[in-house]
Amino acid sequence: MKQIYAMLPSAVTLGNLTCGFLSIVSASAGNFKGAAWLIFLSMVFDIMDGRVARLTKTTSRFGEELDSLADLVSFGAAPAFLFYGFFLKAEFGRVGLVLSCIFVLCGALRLARFNVTEGSDNFQGLPIPGGAALLASTVIHGHVFQPWAGTRIFPVILALSAVLMISNFEYPAFKKKGAQGNIYKKLLLALILLGVILIVHEILILAVSFFYAFLGPLGWMWEVTMRTWAVGVVEEKIRNRRLKKSMD
């Protein structure tokens, strides 16, 4: 029984990897929307594998490494191949291919940085599933972007998602490294997420994906603005005090 429990987290991770591979196969066959949904299904497996490992008390270094390898396929290679085939191949050729390759490389760097970083309350750089969600949701809503077909907006989206992954912007850590807590609640949350993905209106997924992807830069801009405002308030108080003393 212990051996079966020990295999469960890896089985879930392999489900993630399988969905990533099937996404590439679907995209190569021209089923781009199905390929995009398979990437989101990979995310559900990615959320669940660590929870299952902690629930069964079978966390291991092997599982962490397998998870990273699966993520690189499902959230690096699969979305890059999907986005290239749907938006870039016909219009941008080799430039689109190079950008897609850069996305995969940045995803690998992002995963490597995560593996050597101590657990914290925030992620440094856009998590690779966030970048994958941005690309996959854009493909799902290809009809929304139809007026911009052939324009540079698609290479820009791909390049920005790659740069954000290796940036120093902070993002909320919904999947904290080494996080503990109520595992049953987290598993329930993963199942609810799956239900939402299956039944919610697709446009919400697009909105959430873009919002989270740019949450890091927006948060940084907000902090800079608040810091500048606070400094201005302090300086104004100092000037008022000096003026008051000079009048006395």
**Residues 79-120: tens digit of each pLDDT:** 999 999 999 988 899 999 999 999 999 999 999 998 887 666
Number of domains in the chain: 2
Q: Average pLDDT of 23-47?
A: 94
Whether 209 and 238 share a structural domain? no
**Tokens 């594998």, residue?**
49
- pLDDT for position 163: 95
The parent domain of residue 181 ranges over 2-213
Whether 36 and 67 share a structural domain? yes
Highest averaged pLDDT of the listed ranges 54-58, 70-74, 148-152, 173-177: 70-74
Lowest-confidence range among 48-52, 109-113, 226-230? 226-230
Whether 106 and 221 share a structural domain? no
Lowest-confidence range among 34-43, 92-101, 226-235? 226-235
Listing DSSP states for 109-155 in one string gives HHHHHHHTSPP-SEEES--HHHHHHHHHHHHHTTTTTGGGTTSTHHH
Q: Where are the beta strands (DSSP E) in the chain?
A: 122-124, 170-172
* pTM of this structure: 0.79
Whether 131 and 201 share a structural domain? yes
Whether 185 and 101 share a structural domain? yes
